[in-house]
């Protein structure tokens, strides 16, 4: 069942969305050479607690995971792209970090992801990040009443195709609202003019993610972390959006000056100068 949200309910989701945007901006600022993923995880736990929000990931136990997820943010490095389980890993110069966060505030959910480069950025890493960001913006532009779900999927695929990146269809976007995952599923590849007709009140998490040279994935032994099958680097961009009578409303938009490169100043979590 697809639940359309009222304008008042969308505004409540927007409260959660602004908080998610704030957390992901701070994670990007803190991600630096010498920072441990577990320190980022615990920093985000503190932000969630102080806000009075609830993590949508804690105790999440889908069919593909190994036991309940016992962290509040997904942190995926380099060839890892989805569901990265925070672990004892210290970020290195040139690492690509994808951070994915979903929280509930007063019973309403927002979900977003972004990818940054730690320290020295290779052009090929910036390129794949740009591709996911452009695909996300193209998808958002198609999220208008009267369009079809396939128009969103086709827009994502077209950007990937232009960049020369293959597209995996096992994991994609989704509806959300009162819970993190609702209908419909939003594939990152599809045909324009097909699928569900978009209506005002539909709220979606759109999340293009690409690997450089493969559309196949493998799982880590932890049962959660998903990597490109050939070890090529990856990127992931996601926003929660609401379809309105007018333009699509992005509920998790970050500040414009927020960038994808980090490491020009020492993070308070860094141990590189210790």
Contact status, residue 253 vs residue 152, Cβ threshold 8 Å: no
100 in a known ligand binding site: yes
Q: For the CA atoms of 230, 231, 233, 234, what is the dihedral angle to 10 degrees?
A: 70
214 in Cβ contact with 186 (< 8 Å): no
Residue 42, annotated as binding a ligand: no
CA atoms within 13 A on the CB side of 167: 23
Q: Is 239 annotated as a binding residue?
A: no
39 is in an annotated binding site: no
d(CA 25, CA 33): 17
Q: What CA–CA distance (Å, rounded) separates 126 from 118?
A: 11
**What tokens appear for 247 in the block?**
């333009």
**Based on C-alpha coordinates, what's the Rg of the chain?**
17
At residue 218, the 3 state secondary structure works out as strand
**Residue 124, annotated as binding a ligand:** no
Asked whether residue 207 is marked as a ligand-binding residue, the answer is: yes
Does 238 carry a binding-site annotation? yes
- Which residues make up each annotated binding site for a divalent metal cation? 100, 111, 174, 207, 238
- Which residues make up each annotated binding site? 83, 100, 111, 174, 181, 207, 238
- Which residues make up each annotated binding site for substrate? 83, 181
């Amino acid at each position: 069942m697809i639940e359309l949200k009222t304008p008042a309910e969308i505004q409540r989701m927007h409260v959660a969305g602004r908080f998610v945007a704030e957390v992901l901006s701070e994670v990007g600022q803190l991600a630096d050479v010498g920072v441990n993923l577990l320190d980022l995880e615990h920093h985000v736990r503190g932000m969630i607690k102080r806000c009075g929000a609830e993590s949508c990931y804690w105790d999440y136990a889908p069919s593909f995971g190994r036991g309940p997820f016992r962290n509040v943010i997904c942190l995926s490095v380099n060839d890892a792209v989805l569901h990265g389980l925070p672990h004892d890993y210290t970020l290195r110069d040139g690492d690509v970090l994808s951070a994915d966060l979903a929280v509930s505030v007063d019973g309403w959910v927002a979900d977003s992801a972004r990818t940054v480069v730690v320290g020295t950025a290779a052009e090929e890493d910036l390129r794949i990040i740009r591709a996911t960001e452009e695909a996300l913006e193209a998808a958002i532009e198609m999220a208008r009443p009267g369009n079809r779900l396939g128009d969103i999927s086709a827009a994502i695929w077209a950007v990937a195709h232009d960049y020369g990146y293959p597209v995996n269809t096992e994991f994609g976007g989704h509806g959300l609202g009162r819970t993190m995952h609702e209908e419909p599923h939003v594939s990152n590849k599809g045909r324009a003019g097909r699928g569900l007709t978009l209506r005002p009140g539909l709220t979606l998490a759109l999340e293009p993610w690409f690997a450089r040279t493969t559309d196949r994935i493998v799982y880590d032994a932890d049962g959660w972390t998903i990597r490109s099958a050939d070890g090529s680097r990856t990127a992931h961009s996601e926003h929660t959006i609401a379809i309105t009578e007018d333009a699509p409303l992005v509920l998790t938009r970050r500040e414009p000056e927020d960038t994808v490169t980090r490491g020009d100043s020492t993070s308070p979590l860094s141990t590189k100068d210790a």
